[in-house]
Amino acid sequence: MDKREIFVKMASIEERIGDLYKEIGELKDVIVVLMEENAQLLVENQHLRNRLDKKKTGSQAKQKGTSIVAKEKAKKAVVGEGYDNLARLYAEGFHICNVHFGSLRKEGDCLFCLSFLSGGPQK
């Protein structure tokens, strides 16, 4: 092999590596989109399960008649739905804390938001 053949072969290898690097970047972007979609679907699935449980509880309460316990469960379900909506917003990348509410999260998780979601100190 002379120097020219080696140079041509190195250029070819370099081009293939560049193409592979580009393909890896595209696959990485697809994975990010799929992970975001998966997170949204998990939140939506949980929300639908909660609604189904709420409907089942409501139909059982109708059969047995309304009671104070059933009314308290309905109040808790309404609070749970709001909590689910906030959790969904946080999963979509928005702040839900009182410090930065509604703005996009740019640098990972927010301790204020996580404190709220975990049921931290309440006023």
**Model pLDDT for residues 14-57, shown as the tens digit of each residue:** 999 999 999 999 999 999 889 988 888 888 999 999 989 888 88
Q: How confident is the model at residue 67 (pLDDT cuts 50, 70, 90)?
A: low
Binding residues for Zn(2+) are: 95, 97, 110, 113
- Domain assignment present for residue 72? The answer is yes
Cα-based torsion angle of the residue sequence 24, 27, 33, 35 in order, rounded to the nearest 10 degrees: -90
Which pTM value belongs to this model?
0.43
Look at the chain and report how many structural domains it folds into.
1
Note the Cα 83 to chain centre separation in Å: 14
The answer to whether residue 112 is domain-embedded is no
φ and ψ at residue 104, rounded to 5 degrees: -70, 140
Print the domain residue range for 66. Answer: 3-92
